[in-house]
Amino acid sequence: AGAKVIVSKSDSSYLDMKYNPKTPIGLEWAGRGDVDKYYNWNPRNVVPIAEEDDILGVEAPLWSESHRGGKQNEFLIFPRAISHAEIGWSQQSQRNVTDFMKRLNAIGPRLLAMQSNFYDGPLVAWGTDLAGLPAKARTNTSHRIEVAHFAAPGTKVSVDGKTVAVDSVNDADSASNSALTGPLTATIDFGDGSAAADATFETDTPRGVVSAGSLYRVGADHKYATAGSFDVTVTLSDGRVGTAKVTVANDYVVPVKAMFDDCQVPTMVLASTTARDDSRVGVTLTGLMPDEFLDILWDGTRIGSTVSDEDGNAFFSHYVPYQSVKGDHLLRVKDSAGRFVEKALTVDSQTVAPPGIAVTGVTAQASSEAPNEGAPNGVATALVDGNPATFWHSKWAAPAATYPHVLTFNLGKEVDLSQIVWTPRQNSDNGQVKTMSVEFSTDGTTWTGAKAVTLPAGRGTTAIAVDTVATHVRITATAPQAADSLFATAGEVQFRGLSEGQVEPEGPAAVEAETWTPPADCEVDPNPTSTVTVTTTTVTSTPTTTVTPTSTVTSTATVTASPTGAPSQTPTVTPTPDEVDVYSTPGYHTVNGRKWFTACEPYSQTTRCRTEIWSTQVHYTGGKFVSKTGWNFNNLTYLESKRSLWTGNPLGNAGSWTATNGRQWRTECDTPVTGGNGCRSYIWAPNTVEAHRNSDGSYRYELADVWVFNNIVRFSK
């Protein structure tokens, strides 16, 4: 009595514990729990003392070995830290867990509005909230206008973006809960007398395995005819209404940036291609999915994660594990879309490649297990899964198993064993084994050749030399490193040797880094090995066929933002000199540092050539600017023919017209732009993407209604 204490109850205070078995980050040594468990405990019962005033406060630790980045920190902290805070400032007699979870209802939308991550679990019927947002728009341009935020923890949006509903599917991110009584939709009255539009919900961070969902942006595509200020009304299907104001101007630039190019091949640059074991190497990444956690794999085993920025780039310091085998190892980083980049790293180490070949197909059994550690941990199969990050644990729940602890391994075949590699549990020193006995059998019944082994303390691997033929191995842990420990743990047990038909390898196995291949719909440089030929025709004085205008502009207009360098394949033909006419000369060309490709064909009484350029093209799709790199259309060229052949054809005469499909065209001839003896035709393209270079060299994009160049007609002299 009289001592002043700060109380922290491990199973109800440690914020780095998992919420449930599916939580992909966090630990489980103290248990798992949600807001109810972290709220419903009494500090006085943890440290029995005479006076409550002797408790100075409560503490909620967060250890960081299992997670990365602020968003993962927040996911483990909230809402459990709110439970903990109320324990600290409220009398025990005033606290009621049911009432507390009802009051959490309104906290979720506030956390989303603050852009704070949290676990939106199923114990709370999370509230929702709608708030109007001031917006801006451009006249005579149809583009997405977002006029409200809708905060709805525990929900997901439909594929078409029109419906929000509670996530009730108990899949990888587990089921949640919501105050919504059913699917919710919305409409927007843009205040200009037009009919209300169906709204869509978009979010930068949908509900996932380590993210709450979701703070939605509510918007729709709309075109204002005049500038001014408009009062907008958002109506939810449950009757709630939000209002906003949209300011429309002729010169407003739509502030949406280009999206990630999913055809881009990721890159990895190592600060050094060689490193000692127990050291670190800087790793720089580009071209992976932006704003997400990336998996890091060492020789095929996931060892951690890093976080990419908004451009899909990342940097991390890779730890080369102690006692890594001397030789080449593979370091791979991959994103959620399956894109990856991999490099070989040469390790300089005193640990040489072990003898024999690793035995595969081994099964394991234990005298006791702790499945409450959470899959895949706690059970004997974790000892032979090839992943040292998983572990076996002897039974620790009452009644706990005590030493000796017995592990039995079936090799699946007769093996001339040369080595057993023991790897302790890697995320904790708890349960480390000090002494053990190893026995061998050729039938799983009769055991011989008992070998006593003493293991060092720590998490390093121990190679145990053996020389025997066996089909089964039995390891009996006889004493712990910590004298008072009842438990035993281990991360991995590997057996090495030669089975029938195998030969001792000469040196370390060779490794070769793989390269990610872009999806099939990504454009690549066509095979340039074949020769492109042009078949010419004799032009008569009287045309027999009328040249039909060919439109290459689609409703989603595009603009080439910038060249991207060389195509993915190297042309086998010699590049043509800069003075070549790329619009009329078939084949591949490099002119002014740009890659061009032209193909020509007979067309009516002339020859028509289609020219493409290797570039990045930006489209406005679904309210976003999306870029892709590949061969993109540049223009059509009708080669030299008599002007008289074009009499009555709008492509060969100045003027404007509307095609049968409703598209507007205009043609200019013999101007400073076209030069003498030629015409150029343009198509009116609403909502065309225009690229503008910023002072720092980057690009910004806006939508505009413009005339887009389509084709050239050349007249013979």
pLDDT in tens, 32-71: 999 999 999 999 888 877 677 888 899 999 998 777 778 8
Give the integer Cα–Cα distance in Å for 524 and 628: 11
Which residue, chain included where needed, has tokens 């013999």? Answer: 670
The per-residue b/e assignment along 542-554, b for 16 or more CB within 10 angstroms, e otherwise, is ebeeebebebebe
Residue 255 has a pLDDT of: 65
Give the integer Cα–Cα distance in Å for 477 and 407: 8
* Neighbour tally for 365: CB within 10 Å: 15
Contact of 308 with 291, CB cutoff 8 Å: yes
CA 565 to the chain's CA centroid: 26
Give the integer Cα–Cα distance in Å for 526 and 435: 65
Residues 6 or more apart whose Cβ sits within 8 Å of residue 565: none
Give the integer Cα–Cα distance in Å for 174 and 168: 8
Question: What are the tens digits of pLDDT across the range 208-259?
Answer: 889 998 999 999 999 999 999 999 999 999 999 999 999 999 888 776 555 6
Give the integer Cα–Cα distance in Å for 587 and 598: 5
**Phi and psi of 532, rounded to 5°?**
-90, 125
Give the integer Cα–Cα distance in Å for 176 and 185: 19
Residue 556 has a pLDDT of: 37
Report pTM.
Answer: 0.58
* Neighbour tally for 7: CB within 10 Å: 20
Look at strands 129-132 and 228-236 and give their pairing: unpaired
Beta bridge partners of 451: 438
Residue 256 has a pLDDT of: 57
Question: What are the tens digits of pLDDT across the range 110-164?
Answer: 999 999 999 999 999 999 999 999 999 999 888 889 999 999 999 999 999 999 9
Give the integer Cα–Cα distance in Å for 244 and 242: 7
Kindly state the DSSP code that residue 380 receives in the 8-state scheme. Answer: G
Helix axes 69-77, 80-89, angle to 10 degrees: 50
Residue 540 has a pLDDT of: 28
Helix-strand-coil split of the chain, %, nearest 5:
10, 40, 50
Residue 529 has a pLDDT of: 36
Beta bridge partners of 613: 596, 632
Question: What are the tens digits of pLDDT across the range 458-471?
Answer: 988 899 999 999 99
**Which positions of the chain have pLDDT values less than 70?**
1-2, 50, 255-260, 507-508, 521, 523-579, 622-624, 697-698
